[in-house]
Chain A
Amino acid sequence: MTPEYDPTVIRPLAGLSASQSGTAERLGLTADELKEHEGVTSEGFAQLLGAAMVRYDEAVGELSLYP
């Protein structure tokens, strides 16, 4: 039986935990790209960068227009 679709439920990207999936979304990366970077970056850095994208979203948005 197919479960009913619920648009309020956020499902993680294939192969990622819910936390990783949120990080990938914040960074604009695919699951594979995030996993590739996480394999070489320092521990927790992708999560730190993802949190910074949210915390400083207005500054990021402004410099996205004038990068």
Chain B
Amino acid sequence: MSGLGLSAADLTLVHTVAARRAGVLPGQLDPGQLGEAAAWPQAETDGVARFPSPFTRAAAQAEAAARIVPRAASLTALLALVTRLGREGYVLVAPQGVLAGMVAGMVAGRIDAAGLGRWIEDRAVLEGGG
């Protein structure tokens, strides 16, 4: 795993916090699925990274996290996205209502991860870089 990635334990904490904040019980997460979701942004096809930028990796992390949790999926996806992006040194500069809508749209299937990645790329800045 890339040192910039999230681990299965990190994703478990993300979901625990998301569920608590949403006022629901966290779901029982499958360890195998957790490991796959944590590794997904680093996936390769024929030795080529499927998600070559920090922005596509953040979107892929959000999508993978949302797919494996039984509840609080949108909030889990948001927190997975922004922590993954943060690990890579970026923050999002965007209206937060729009950010929430983009993540909810992806979880609902209205926006694909590639589209979310492009949206992130246009709105991410290096932390401390202005």
* Interface-located stretch among B7-15, B46-54, B115-123: B7-15
Number of A interface residues at 8 Å Cβ cutoff, please give it: 25
Chain A 18-32 against B: per-residue CB contact (8 Å), 1 yes, 0 no? 000000000111000
Residues on A with C-beta less than 8 A from B22 are 63-64, 67
- Do B7 and A66 touch (CB < 8 A)? no
Rounded to whole Å, the gap between the CB of B25 and the closest CB of chain A is 12
Residue of B nearest to A40 (CB): B9
Give residues of chain B (98-130) contacting chain A, Cβ–Cβ below 8 Å.
99-100, 103-104
B24 within 8 A of A: yes
Q: Please name all residues of chain A whose beta carbon is closer than 8 Å to the beta carbon of B78 when the two chains form the complex.
A: 56, 59-60, 63
For chain A residues 3-53, which have a beta carbon within 8 Å of chain B?
A: 27-29, 37, 40-42, 45-46, 48-49, 51-53
On whether A59 and B99 interact (CB within 8 A), knowing A45-B6, A45-B13, A64-B75, the answer reads yes
Minimum CB–CB distance for B18 against chain A, Å:
7
Q: Which residues of B contact A62 (CB under 8 A)?
A: 96-97, 100
Chain A-chain B contacts (Cβ-Cβ < 8 Å), number: 91
Q: How many residues of B contact A (CB 8 A)?
A: 35
Contact B71 A46 (CB under 8 A): no
* B72 proximal to A (CB < 8 A): yes
Asked whether, in the complex, the Cβ of A45 is within 8 Å of the Cβ of B10, the reply is yes
- Chain A residues at the B interface, C-beta cutoff of 8 Å: 27-29, 37, 40-42, 45-46, 48-49, 51-53, 55-60, 62-64, 66-67
